[in-house]
Amino acid sequence: MDIGVTLRNMGPQSTVEVMVSGAKAAEGLGFESIWITDHIAIPPDDAEGSGGRYLDPLVTLAFLAGQTSSIKLGTGVLILPYRPALPTVKQIATLQELSRERLLLGVGIGWMDAEFRALGIDRHRRGAISDELLEFLNRCFENDTVTVNGQPFLFKPRPAKPPVYVGGAAPHALERAARLGDGWLPMAGSAEGLRETIARYRDRTEALGRPRGLVTVMSGVPLDDADAGRRALDAFRALDIERLVCGLRYDTADEYQRQLEALANLC
């Protein structure tokens, strides 16, 4: 099981200095990946913790790709219905190319009403819009020439498609992940209760004749109690998942470094 870590691209921690320091520290300590999140239009009455400051995830990961050399770069998650299909898939392909194929593409359908209103998008269509974008993304990465709106065009660069992890809960996210993604990306407070849902997801990929579904779990791990932290990690390993992304809370680069070191000692 690989271990990834979150890196805050929001709030006062999202300065160039703190993010670059954090990404380099995570890479230096041998963590497999760093993961950032996505919000585009936070309303004033829902800005606690971030102040409404969020850096765009694809631009941020492109920047961090230039500051690192080997650590993988994850979106946890990119909200698909917020974005137009063709420019978004072009950005994804460009980031995958320029990062030397280090992108891990977590995607989701979104939930915040205010953001959908700000974008003028019908929230009730978010599932359908996401499915259409995923279908388009898969087509683009499978073909040099793609047709959209009756117009063929060359989809280049066309690096290897980044693995696509569909975030969300059962049943809809499981079905979307099985049909259109490469993996499932649940958020969980602990490993307890995940085994049955993971089995359902993998049974569905098998029924569809698709490759065995990958699973990346986003969760916290106790860092102030080494025994509890190791038990938590062992419980996730027992699920036979590909990766655990550990959520970290911090205010400064030094605090982030200390949490990374504590997690590394548990591993």
Provide the domain count of the chain: 1
Q: In degrees rounded to 5, what are phi and psi of residue 170?
A: -70, 155
The DSSP element (H or E) to which 62 belongs, if any, is: helix 57-67
Query: pLDDT tens-digit profile of 14-63?
Result: 999 999 999 999 999 999 999 999 999 999 999 999 999 999 999 999 99
Q: What is the pTM of this model?
A: 0.96
Task: State mean pLDDT over 182-196.
Answer: 95
| pLDDT given at position 22 | 98
Instruction: Please answer whether residues 183 and 218 qualify as being in contact, where contact means their C-beta atoms are separated by less than 8 angstroms.
Output: no
pLDDT bracket for residue 2 (50, 70, 90):
very high
The DSSP element (H or E) to which 132 belongs, if any, is: helix 126-142
Task: State mean pLDDT over 159-180.
Answer: 96
Instruction: Please answer whether residues 110 and 126 qualify as being in contact, where contact means their C-beta atoms are separated by less than 8 angstroms.
Output: yes
Query: pLDDT tens-digit profile of 86-124?
Result: 999 999 999 999 999 999 999 999 999 999 999 999 999
For 104, the domain range is: 2-266
Instruction: Please answer whether residues 156 and 111 qualify as being in contact, where contact means their C-beta atoms are separated by less than 8 angstroms.
Output: no
| pLDDT given at position 257 | 98
Rounded CA-CA distance 214/104 in Å is 12
Within a 10 A sphere around the Cβ of 149, how many other Cβ atoms? 6
Within a 10 A sphere around the Cβ of 28, how many other Cβ atoms? 13
Q: Facing residues of 264 across strands?
A: none
CA distances, 237 to each of 71, 118, 221 (Å): 21, 41, 13
Q: Are strands 2-6 and 33-36 parallel, antiparallel or unpaired?
A: parallel
Task: State mean pLDDT over 147-153.
Answer: 97
User: How much of the chain, in percent, has pLDDT values that exceed 90?
Assistant: 99
Rounded CA-CA distance 78/57 in Å is 7
pLDDT bracket for residue 66 (50, 70, 90):
very high
Name every residue whose Cβ is closer than 8 Å to that of residue 197 and which is 6 or more positions away in sequence. 170, 174, 186
Query: pLDDT tens-digit profile of 240-262?
Result: 999 999 999 999 999 999 999 99
CATH code of 45's domain: 3.20.20.30
Query: pLDDT tens-digit profile of 191-222?
Result: 998 999 999 999 999 999 999 999 999 999 99
Instruction: Output the six-digit token pair for 109.
Output: 């359908």
Within a 10 A sphere around the Cβ of 113, how many other Cβ atoms? 11
Q: In degrees rounded to 5, what are phi and psi of residue 106?
A: -85, 135
